[in-house]
Amino acid sequence: MQRYINPSLEQWKVLTQRGAASYSSLEPLAKEVFDNVAQYGDEALKTYTEKFDKVKLEGFSVDPKEIELAKNRVPDKLKLAIQKAKENIYLFHKAQITEEVKVEIQTGVNCWQKKLPIEKVGLYIPGGSAPLFSTILMLAIPAQVAGCETIVLCSPPDSKGQLSDVILYTANLCGIDTIFKVGGMQAIAGMTLGTETIPEVDKLFGPGNQYVTVAKQLATQYQVSIDMPAGPSELMIVADATANATFVASDLLSQAEHGPDSQVLLVSTDRGLIERVDAQLKEQISVLERHEIARNALKNSKIIYFDDEEQALAFTNFYGAEHLIICLKNENEFVNQIKHAGSVFIGNYTPESAGDYASGTNHTLPTNGYVRQYSGVNLDSFLKSITYQKITAEGLRNLGPVIEEMANAEGLQAHKNAVSLRLKTLDNE
């Protein structure tokens, strides 16, 4: 990891740059994929699956028999772990249900707001070297709590043209039976445009690599919304002498092993901790199965020392991390001043892995600095709000002159007439 001591404000912008490719560099490929899927449907999906995933498929739909066989092959201990995680995630997202808001603004003027589910949602589940079955829990559970009518799941097939047993088990556990073996840009295009096999959806969810992120952003041009721009994983740890160096190193590596384009940062006010963490990184990485991936990620990652917590806090908010771990003596004061983060983990015994799997919070979070504008996935992500109003005759008598005055000032005569005609009728009565 690269080291920086009290970097100046001029250096901060460089230090917060992520390594993901720009939208403009990948947009031409995404447009090509979307155009071909629009024109050729399933045949285009087959072509791109063979090209990008190196596997030739005749069809994409997962057969119920495949699901039953997969369920039998998943170890019971893992099943129990997934079931417990499902319970925790359900409880946290169920608690996010809000009551209908209804207000009598003034006599005879009633306004209310109701939240309704988005009808058709598409879930993208990353595959590759580490199929993220946990992401199914994070997306399918709030979709079901919200009451979405159609839930479509796409995930890239392995070299044998199959989805992993645990992905099929988890999807089935969450009540999803519309599952397709297709990934990457072509999966996003399929769910956006619809094909002979894959139904089109209203909103897309799920993390992915830079190709998937660009495809999701392009999907917004086709009247399909997305949860957020989410690219390579990132983690920042802010720690002082009270932090456990062994734990800190393990957390840094837990995100570094996601992929070579992941980025992890350690921000510390204690030089001794930095040395201890560095030693632990070297010791722990040597026994990881994904050590090469983690080593490549660490090459682009940083250790930053600040003399005081005030500077550390300012840099933390400037960076805006997807995952943020705080291990400080005065953790409460620091946490209360955090403005930009996807999800915050507090104390030595709150590993980021807890949020990834089973604590109950959602692990689908904005990256690349988008925490300034976007929230992580939550129940409201699967809902839309509709407002209503009903005005009585008395209410219009009281409110009408206000509307007339404002419409007249904006030069919108028809707007004014819509009120004036009603008031005239009431006066005649």
Query: Which CATH number is correct for 2-18+232-352, 3.30.1360.120, 3.90.550.10, 3.40.50.1980, 3.40.50.2000?
Result: 3.40.50.1980
Q: Over the Cα atoms of the chain, what is R_g?
A: 26
Q: Answer yes or no: 323 catalytic.
A: yes
Q: Answer yes or no: 87 catalytic.
A: no
- CA dist 19 and 260 (Å) reads 10
Q: Evaluate whether 390 touches 361 at the Cβ level (below 8 Å).
A: no
* Catalytic residue (one of 322, 333, 405, 429): 322
pTM over 0.75: yes
pLDDT bracket for residue 158 (50, 70, 90): very high
Most confident of 123-137, 203-217, 406-420: 406-420
DSSP H or E segment with residue 205: strand 203-205
Residues of the chain with CATH 1.20.5.1300: 392-428
The tokens for 166 are 């645990």
The tokens for 53 are 């995933």
pLDDT, mean of residues 388-408? 98
Residues of the chain with CATH 3.40.50.1980: 2-18+232-352, 23-230
- Nearest of 150, 162, 128 to residue 204 by alpha carbon: 150
pLDDT at 21: 60
pLDDT bracket for residue 4 (50, 70, 90): very high
* Catalytic residue (one of 93, 257, 258, 323): 323
List, in sequence order, every beta strand (DSSP E) within 291-411: 302-305, 321-327, 341-346, 383-391
Q: What is the pLDDT of residues 92-145, one digit of tens each?
A: 999 999 999 999 999 999 999 999 999 999 999 998 667 889 999 999 999 999
pLDDT at 20: 59
Q: What is the pLDDT of residues 70-103, one digit of tens each?
A: 999 999 999 999 999 999 999 999 999 999 999 9
DSSP H or E segment with residue 115: strand 109-117
- Helices 165-173 and 133-146, axial angle in degrees (round to 10): 20
> Looking at domain 392-428, which CATH architecture does it have?
Up-down Bundle (1.20)
pLDDT at 18: 81
Query: What CATH superfamily is the domain 23-230?
Result: Nitrogenase molybdenum iron protein domain (3.40.50.1980)
pLDDT at 19: 67
Task: Share the mean pLDDT of the chain.
Answer: 95
